[in-house]
């Protein structure tokens, strides 16, 4: 883009281009992460910047979260190969954070990227064709290696650290599967997955994430990108395969009168302000309101089908069947775990923006002072 902004460089001689200004704006973020690595590359890497000093990090807890990401009925053979364990190369001393960037590395046991066959028949629903057209590749593998959900191991590693931070303030995040292929009982969901296995097909579903003990006041209404619900929706939608997100009643608001939809307010000295319902899902006007934050998301069926759909050979342009890669049948359970992690990252960033970001002890003091003010 050629857009210009009303800013100047350090010499005050010219306006800054978008390419120059955006990196400077990003530096204003309290918490940010970057990941790297391909599905069959040497490793998955993540860097987390902005975690305060003084937080004790238990590597075993990170590995527990990585193991949870690999769980769920319907996962594929890759989960039998990869036993994810994290290595931390920077940002810690004696097990405590230093406020410097934290580098995580998760090795891939299946490191075979240079040996794998060329892929020329894109899978419908995947990034295969769109990525190939965007970057001008002639081998779809150059797309799918990074577009793969294997990259979510980095998100879960980062999220595990954020969960440790939030736990220091009594905040807990969990997830559960609500339905798979329209079935909402444990037996029915398992039957749908077995049916998909037998048909050489895949299934998706809906999961729910709940965050408890989030204080009122995280996020803001003053700018769109400060709204907590907007940040959650964007980040959860960034999980490969997630196609819809709702908070609280979500689409259920469309079927109710306002008198039935909104959460009436009450007050007493013991509780302060409270609500008897939580249709808002813990967020009003882009700000957490002190109730549990509840969101749900839809994970689509995996794109790789053992009985593949029609496609086109990108070299010959002739009809063909889509490529088959080693894949899963159902990842809804794992997607909930990944969503927990990305939500933990969003909540941690909003928390640090409100209560400070340098030292854990200082943040705890600021938080306690804030809670006392809310009780007045």
CB–CB of 162/57 below 8 Å? no
Residue 351 in 3-state DSSP? helix
268 lies in some domain: no
5 lies in some domain: no
CATH classification at residue 153 = 3.60.150.10
CB–CB of 51/161 below 8 Å? yes
Q: What is the pLDDT of residues 23-59, one digit of tens each?
A: 554 445 689 999 999 999 999 999 999 999 999 999 9
Supply the pLDDT for residue 30: 82
Residue 141 in 3-state DSSP? helix
Supply the pLDDT for residue 26: 47
The whole-angstrom separation of Cα 183 and Cα 204 is: 11
Could you tell me the two tokens for 375? 């009780």
355 lies in some domain: yes
66 lies in some domain: yes
The whole-angstrom separation of Cα 33 and Cα 342 is: 11
Q: In total, how many domains does the chain have?
A: 1
Supply the pLDDT for residue 77: 64
DSSP assignment of 185-238: SHHHHHHHHHHHHHHT----EEEEEEEESPPTT-B-SSSGGG-HHHHHHHHHHT
225 lies in some domain: no
- Count CB neighbours of 33 within 10 A: 23
100 lies in some domain: yes
Query: In this model, does residue 16 exceed pLDDT 90?
Result: no
284-292: average pLDDT: 97
Domain of 355 in residue numbering reads as 18-216+290-375
203-212, 242-251, 262-271: which range is least confident on average?
A: 262-271
Could you tell me the two tokens for 240? 């490969």
Phi, psi at 93, each rounded to 5°: -145, 120
Q: What is the pLDDT of residues 94-124, one digit of tens each?
A: 999 999 999 999 999 988 889 999 999 999 9
- The number of helices, as runs of H, and strands, as runs of E, in the chain is 11, 18
The whole-angstrom separation of Cα 342 and Cα 338 is: 6
- Count CB neighbours of 111 within 10 A: 13
From residue 319, alpha-carbon distances to 121, 315, 360, 363 in Å are 9, 11, 59, 60
């Amino acid at each position: 883009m050629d857009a210009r902004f009303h800013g100047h460089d350090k010499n005050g001689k010219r306006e800054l281009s978008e390419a120059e200004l955006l990196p400077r704006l990003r530096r204003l973020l309290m918490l940010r992460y970057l990941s790297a690595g391909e599905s069959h590359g040497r490793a998955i890497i993540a860097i987390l910047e902005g975690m305060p000093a003084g937080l004790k990090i238990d590597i075993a807890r990170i590995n527990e979260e990585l193991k949870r990401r690999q769980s769920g009925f319907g996962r594929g053979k890759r989960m039998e190969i990869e036993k994810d364990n994290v290595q931390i190369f920077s940002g810690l001393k004696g097990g405590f954070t230093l406020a410097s960037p934290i580098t995580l590395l998760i090795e891939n046991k299946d490191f075979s990227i240079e040996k794998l066959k060329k892929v020329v028949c894109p899978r419908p629903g995947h990034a295969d064709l769109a990525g190939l057209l965007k970057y001008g590749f002639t081998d779809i593998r150059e797309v799918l290696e990074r577009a793969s959900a294997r990259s979510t191991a980095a998100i879960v590693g980062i999220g595990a650290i954020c969960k440790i931070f939030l736990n220091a303030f009594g905040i807990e995040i969990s997830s559960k599967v609500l339905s798979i292929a329209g079935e909402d009982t444990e037996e029915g969901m398992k039957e749908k997955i077995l049916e998909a296995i037998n048909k050489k097909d895949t299934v998706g579903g809906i999961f729910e994430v709940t965050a408890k003990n989030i204080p009122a006041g995280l996020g803001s209404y003053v700018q769109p990108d400060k709204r907590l619900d907007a940040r959650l929706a964007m980040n959860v939608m960034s999980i490969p395969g997630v196609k819809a997100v709702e908070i609280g009643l979500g689409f259920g608001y469309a079927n109710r009168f306002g008198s039935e939809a909104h959460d009436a307010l009450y007050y007493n000295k013991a509780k302060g302000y409270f609500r008897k319902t939580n249709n808002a899902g813990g967020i009003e006007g882009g700000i957490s309101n002190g109730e549990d934050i509840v969101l749900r998301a839809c994970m689509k069926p995996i794109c790789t089908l053992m009985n593949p759909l029609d496609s086109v050979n990108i070299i010959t342009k002739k009809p063909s069947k889509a490529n088959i890669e080693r894949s899963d049948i159902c990842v809804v359970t794992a997607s909930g775990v990944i969503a927990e992690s990305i939500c933990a990252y969003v909540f941690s960033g909003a928390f640090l923006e409100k209560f400070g970001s340098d030292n854990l002890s200082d943040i705890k003091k600021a938080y306690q002072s804030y809670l006392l003010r809310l009780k007045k």
